[in-house]
Structure 1
Amino acid sequence: MGESTAPVPAPRGNPETPPLTAQELLVAACWLAEADPNPGKVWAEWEKHGVALLPLGRRFDAVRVPAERVHDVVVSDETETVAKVLRAWLDGPVIRDFRSSLGPYYVLIAPDADWDGPAERLTTGTYLGVPRPGHATMLSRWVVLPPHPGALCDSRYLRTLLTMTDSLRTVDG
Protein backbone atom coordinates (compact mmCIF):
# COMPACT_ATOMS: atom_id res chain seq x y z
CA MET A 1 0.00 0.00 0.00
CA GLY A 2 1.51 3.33 -1.05
CA GLU A 3 1.84 6.36 1.16
CA SER A 4 -1.01 8.82 1.05
CA THR A 5 -0.27 12.29 -0.27
CA ALA A 6 -3.44 13.71 1.25
CA PRO A 7 -2.85 16.38 3.89
CA VAL A 8 -3.26 15.36 7.51
CA PRO A 9 -6.61 16.66 8.71
CA ALA A 10 -6.55 19.25 11.48
CA PRO A 11 -9.26 19.56 14.12
CA ARG A 12 -12.49 20.67 12.47
CA GLY A 13 -15.09 21.24 15.18
CA ASN A 14 -15.69 23.91 17.77
CA PRO A 15 -14.79 22.53 21.21
CA GLU A 16 -17.00 25.18 22.85
CA THR A 17 -20.23 24.24 21.06
CA PRO A 18 -23.24 25.28 23.15
CA PRO A 19 -25.60 22.55 24.38
CA LEU A 20 -28.32 21.49 21.99
CA THR A 21 -31.79 22.90 22.56
CA ALA A 22 -34.72 20.64 23.43
CA GLN A 23 -35.93 20.95 19.82
CA GLU A 24 -32.48 20.01 18.44
CA LEU A 25 -32.33 17.00 20.78
CA LEU A 26 -35.76 15.85 19.59
CA VAL A 27 -34.75 16.22 15.93
CA ALA A 28 -31.53 14.24 16.58
CA ALA A 29 -33.50 11.54 18.42
CA CYS A 30 -35.98 11.25 15.55
CA TRP A 31 -33.14 10.85 13.05
CA LEU A 32 -31.46 8.19 15.21
CA ALA A 33 -34.74 6.29 15.78
CA GLU A 34 -35.21 6.04 12.03
CA ALA A 35 -32.06 3.91 11.86
CA ASP A 36 -34.43 1.09 12.82
CA PRO A 37 -37.14 -0.05 10.38
CA ASN A 38 -39.55 0.33 13.34
CA PRO A 39 -38.80 3.72 14.96
CA GLY A 40 -41.70 3.24 17.39
CA LYS A 41 -39.85 0.31 18.94
CA VAL A 42 -36.81 2.55 19.48
CA TRP A 43 -38.89 5.20 21.22
CA ALA A 44 -40.46 2.52 23.46
CA GLU A 45 -37.00 1.19 24.41
CA TRP A 46 -35.78 4.70 25.16
CA GLU A 47 -38.84 5.32 27.31
CA LYS A 48 -38.42 2.08 29.24
CA HIS A 49 -34.61 1.71 29.41
CA GLY A 50 -33.09 5.01 28.27
CA VAL A 51 -31.08 3.03 25.69
CA ALA A 52 -32.23 1.36 22.47
CA LEU A 53 -30.44 -1.19 20.34
CA LEU A 54 -30.08 0.31 16.89
CA PRO A 55 -29.03 -1.65 13.82
CA LEU A 56 -25.78 -0.54 12.24
CA GLY A 57 -25.14 -0.31 8.52
CA ARG A 58 -28.29 1.58 7.60
CA ARG A 59 -27.86 5.16 8.87
CA PHE A 60 -24.43 4.79 10.43
CA ASP A 61 -21.66 2.41 11.43
CA ALA A 62 -19.63 2.60 14.63
CA VAL A 63 -15.91 2.32 15.26
CA ARG A 64 -15.21 0.83 18.70
CA VAL A 65 -12.19 2.56 20.23
CA PRO A 66 -10.78 1.32 23.56
CA ALA A 67 -10.99 3.93 26.32
CA GLU A 68 -7.25 3.67 26.99
CA ARG A 69 -6.52 4.67 23.41
CA VAL A 70 -8.77 7.74 23.59
CA HIS A 71 -7.42 8.76 26.99
CA ASP A 72 -3.81 8.38 25.76
CA VAL A 73 -4.29 10.82 22.89
CA VAL A 74 -6.39 13.24 24.94
CA VAL A 75 -3.90 12.90 27.84
CA SER A 76 -6.84 12.77 30.21
CA ASP A 77 -9.73 10.58 31.22
CA GLU A 78 -11.71 13.56 32.56
CA THR A 79 -15.12 13.59 30.92
CA GLU A 80 -15.22 17.27 29.93
CA THR A 81 -11.68 17.24 28.55
CA VAL A 82 -12.34 14.12 26.48
CA ALA A 83 -15.58 15.63 25.15
CA LYS A 84 -13.85 18.89 24.15
CA VAL A 85 -11.03 17.13 22.31
CA LEU A 86 -13.33 14.67 20.52
CA ARG A 87 -15.73 17.47 19.59
CA ALA A 88 -12.84 19.52 18.19
CA TRP A 89 -11.29 16.63 16.24
CA LEU A 90 -14.28 14.64 15.11
CA ASP A 91 -17.15 17.15 15.09
CA GLY A 92 -19.61 14.28 15.16
CA PRO A 93 -21.39 11.84 17.46
CA VAL A 94 -19.51 9.70 19.98
CA ILE A 95 -21.03 7.39 22.60
CA ARG A 96 -19.24 5.94 25.65
CA ASP A 97 -20.12 2.55 27.14
CA PHE A 98 -20.03 2.84 30.95
CA ARG A 99 -20.68 -0.77 31.88
CA SER A 100 -17.07 -0.88 33.08
CA SER A 101 -14.41 1.71 33.94
CA LEU A 102 -12.62 0.77 30.71
CA GLY A 103 -15.76 1.00 28.58
CA PRO A 104 -15.02 1.78 24.94
CA TYR A 105 -16.01 4.78 22.89
CA TYR A 106 -18.17 4.32 19.79
CA VAL A 107 -17.51 6.83 17.02
CA LEU A 108 -20.37 7.02 14.53
CA ILE A 109 -19.34 7.14 10.86
CA ALA A 110 -21.17 6.83 7.55
CA PRO A 111 -21.88 3.27 6.37
CA ASP A 112 -20.02 4.00 3.12
CA ALA A 113 -17.00 5.67 4.77
CA ASP A 114 -13.58 4.18 4.10
CA TRP A 115 -12.07 2.62 7.22
CA ASP A 116 -8.71 0.94 7.47
CA GLY A 117 -7.84 2.35 10.88
CA PRO A 118 -6.54 0.60 13.96
CA ALA A 119 -9.91 0.11 15.67
CA GLU A 120 -12.78 -2.27 15.00
CA ARG A 121 -15.58 -1.16 12.71
CA LEU A 122 -19.07 -2.42 13.53
CA THR A 123 -21.58 -2.51 10.68
CA THR A 124 -24.50 -4.48 9.21
CA GLY A 125 -25.58 -7.38 11.40
CA THR A 126 -24.54 -5.57 14.59
CA TYR A 127 -26.61 -3.56 17.03
CA LEU A 128 -25.37 -0.68 19.16
CA GLY A 129 -26.87 0.48 22.43
CA VAL A 130 -27.70 4.14 21.76
CA PRO A 131 -28.89 6.38 24.57
CA ARG A 132 -31.68 8.83 23.87
CA PRO A 133 -30.13 12.24 23.17
CA GLY A 134 -30.45 14.50 26.19
CA HIS A 135 -31.03 11.65 28.65
CA ALA A 136 -28.24 10.12 30.76
CA THR A 137 -28.19 6.42 31.60
CA MET A 138 -25.92 4.24 33.70
CA LEU A 139 -25.05 2.04 30.71
CA SER A 140 -23.94 4.56 28.12
CA ARG A 141 -23.80 8.28 27.48
CA TRP A 142 -23.27 10.68 24.65
CA VAL A 143 -19.78 12.15 24.79
CA VAL A 144 -20.53 14.24 21.70
CA LEU A 145 -24.13 14.55 20.56
CA PRO A 146 -24.95 14.61 16.85
CA PRO A 147 -24.99 18.36 16.13
CA HIS A 148 -27.78 17.83 13.56
CA PRO A 149 -29.50 14.94 11.74
CA GLY A 150 -27.08 13.11 9.50
CA ALA A 151 -24.00 14.50 11.23
CA LEU A 152 -21.40 11.76 11.46
CA CYS A 153 -17.68 11.69 12.16
CA ASP A 154 -15.29 11.78 9.22
CA SER A 155 -13.27 8.56 9.28
CA ARG A 156 -10.14 10.46 8.11
CA TYR A 157 -10.18 12.58 11.25
CA LEU A 158 -10.66 9.52 13.44
CA ARG A 159 -7.78 7.73 11.69
CA THR A 160 -5.54 10.77 12.22
CA LEU A 161 -6.49 10.96 15.90
CA LEU A 162 -5.74 7.27 16.44
CA THR A 163 -2.48 7.53 14.49
CA MET A 164 -1.42 10.24 16.93
CA THR A 165 -2.08 7.77 19.73
CA ASP A 166 0.20 5.24 18.04
CA SER A 167 2.89 7.92 17.65
CA LEU A 168 2.65 8.84 21.34
CA ARG A 169 2.97 5.20 22.37
CA THR A 170 6.07 4.80 20.17
CA VAL A 171 7.71 7.87 21.76
CA ASP A 172 6.81 6.75 25.30
CA GLY A 173 7.74 3.10 24.69
Structure 2
Amino acid sequence: MGSEEAETVATVLAAWLGGPVIRDFRSSMGPYYVLIAPGSDWGGPGERLTTGTYLGVPRPGHATTLSRWVVLSPYPGALGDTRRLCALLASSESLRVVHG
Protein backbone atom coordinates (compact mmCIF):
# COMPACT_ATOMS: atom_id res chain seq x y z
CA MET A 1 0.00 0.00 0.00
CA GLY A 2 3.05 2.21 0.28
CA SER A 3 2.25 3.02 3.90
CA GLU A 4 2.39 1.56 7.39
CA GLU A 5 -0.49 3.82 8.50
CA ALA A 6 -3.54 1.69 9.29
CA GLU A 7 -6.01 4.27 7.92
CA THR A 8 -4.13 4.61 4.63
CA VAL A 9 -3.92 0.83 4.20
CA ALA A 10 -7.64 0.48 4.93
CA THR A 11 -8.53 3.20 2.42
CA VAL A 12 -6.44 1.61 -0.33
CA LEU A 13 -7.75 -1.90 0.34
CA ALA A 14 -11.36 -0.71 0.38
CA ALA A 15 -10.89 1.13 -2.93
CA TRP A 16 -9.09 -1.77 -4.62
CA LEU A 17 -11.09 -4.73 -3.39
CA GLY A 18 -14.60 -3.49 -2.64
CA GLY A 19 -15.02 -6.16 0.03
CA PRO A 20 -14.15 -7.06 3.62
CA VAL A 21 -10.61 -7.54 4.93
CA ILE A 22 -9.49 -8.87 8.34
CA ARG A 23 -6.01 -8.61 9.86
CA ASP A 24 -4.73 -11.30 12.22
CA PHE A 25 -2.26 -10.14 14.88
CA ARG A 26 -1.48 -13.56 16.36
CA SER A 27 1.76 -13.80 14.36
CA SER A 28 4.52 -11.25 13.94
CA MET A 29 3.64 -10.87 10.24
CA GLY A 30 0.07 -9.78 10.95
CA PRO A 31 -1.40 -11.31 7.77
CA TYR A 32 -4.39 -9.83 6.00
CA TYR A 33 -7.36 -11.97 4.94
CA VAL A 34 -9.56 -10.82 2.07
CA LEU A 35 -12.97 -12.45 2.20
CA ILE A 36 -13.96 -13.82 -1.21
CA ALA A 37 -16.75 -16.14 -2.37
CA PRO A 38 -16.03 -19.82 -1.59
CA GLY A 39 -16.45 -20.97 -5.21
CA SER A 40 -14.65 -18.09 -6.90
CA ASP A 41 -11.67 -18.75 -9.17
CA TRP A 42 -8.32 -18.21 -7.54
CA GLY A 43 -5.01 -18.45 -9.31
CA GLY A 44 -3.30 -15.68 -7.41
CA PRO A 45 0.03 -15.72 -5.60
CA GLY A 46 -1.46 -15.72 -2.08
CA GLU A 47 -2.58 -18.75 -0.13
CA ARG A 48 -6.30 -19.53 -0.11
CA LEU A 49 -7.86 -21.00 3.02
CA THR A 50 -9.80 -24.18 2.28
CA THR A 51 -12.50 -26.36 3.77
CA GLY A 52 -11.78 -27.27 7.37
CA THR A 53 -9.81 -24.07 8.03
CA TYR A 54 -11.11 -21.72 10.67
CA LEU A 55 -10.59 -17.98 10.65
CA GLY A 56 -11.61 -15.99 13.70
CA VAL A 57 -13.84 -13.12 12.64
CA PRO A 58 -14.07 -10.24 15.11
CA ARG A 59 -17.40 -8.66 15.91
CA PRO A 60 -17.69 -5.40 13.93
CA GLY A 61 -16.89 -2.39 16.09
CA HIS A 62 -15.06 -4.46 18.72
CA ALA A 63 -11.30 -4.55 18.11
CA THR A 64 -9.41 -7.33 19.86
CA THR A 65 -5.73 -7.98 20.35
CA LEU A 66 -6.01 -11.06 18.10
CA SER A 67 -7.69 -9.70 15.00
CA ARG A 68 -9.61 -6.72 13.68
CA TRP A 69 -11.51 -5.55 10.65
CA VAL A 70 -9.40 -3.48 8.29
CA VAL A 71 -12.31 -3.03 5.87
CA LEU A 72 -15.88 -3.81 6.88
CA SER A 73 -18.26 -5.25 4.33
CA PRO A 74 -19.94 -2.31 2.55
CA TYR A 75 -23.25 -4.25 2.66
CA PRO A 76 -24.35 -7.76 3.77
CA GLY A 77 -22.96 -10.39 1.44
CA ALA A 78 -20.35 -8.15 -0.23
CA LEU A 79 -17.09 -9.99 -0.86
CA GLY A 80 -13.75 -9.08 -2.40
CA ASP A 81 -13.17 -9.28 -6.15
CA THR A 82 -10.54 -11.95 -6.93
CA ARG A 83 -9.41 -10.25 -10.15
CA ARG A 84 -8.68 -7.04 -8.28
CA LEU A 85 -6.99 -8.98 -5.48
CA CYS A 86 -4.70 -10.69 -8.02
CA ALA A 87 -3.81 -7.30 -9.53
CA LEU A 88 -3.07 -5.85 -6.09
CA LEU A 89 -0.87 -8.80 -5.10
CA ALA A 90 0.95 -8.67 -8.44
CA SER A 91 1.81 -5.01 -7.84
CA SER A 92 2.76 -5.48 -4.17
CA GLU A 93 6.39 -6.36 -4.87
CA SER A 94 6.91 -3.18 -6.83
CA LEU A 95 5.21 -1.20 -4.05
CA ARG A 96 7.72 -2.61 -1.55
CA VAL A 97 10.64 -1.64 -3.77
CA VAL A 98 9.41 1.89 -4.33
CA HIS A 99 8.26 2.61 -0.79
CA GLY A 100 10.45 0.63 1.34
Per the TM superposition, whether the score is higher than 0.5 is yes
Displacement of 1:166 after TM fit?
3.3
TM-score, normalised by the number of residues in structure 1:
0.53
Q: Does 1:158 align with 2:81?
A: no
Amino acid at match of 2:58: P
- Equivalent residue, structure 1, for 2:34: 107
Which residue, out of 16, 20, 35, partners 1:89? Answer: 16
Give secondary structure in 2 for the equivalent of 1:116.
coil
C-alpha distance 170-137 of structure 1, shift in aligned 2 (>3 A): closer
Displacement of 1:113 after TM fit?
0.8
Distance in 2 between residues matched to 1:162 and 1:92, nearest whole Å:
15
Amino acid at match of 1:150: G
Give secondary structure in 2 for the equivalent of 1:127.
coil
Structure with bigger gyration radius = 1
Q: Larger relative CO (CA 8 A, sep 6+): 1 or 2?
A: 2
Larger helix fraction of residues: 1
Aligned length: 99
Report if the CA contact (8 A) 2:2-2:96 is conserved.
no
What value does the CA root-mean-square deviation take over the aligned residues?
1.8
What is the percent sequence identity of the aligned residues? 74
Distance in 1 between residues matched to 2:98 and 2:13, nearest whole Å:
22
Is there any run of 5+ residues in structure 2 with no aligned partner, and where? none
- Equivalent residue, structure 2, for 1:137: 64
TM-score, normalised by the number of residues in structure 2:
0.90
Larger strand fraction of residues: 1
Displacement of 1:152 after TM fit?
0.2
- Equivalent residue, structure 2, for 1:119: 46
- Equivalent residue, structure 2, for 1:57: none
Displacement of 1:107 after TM fit?
0.5
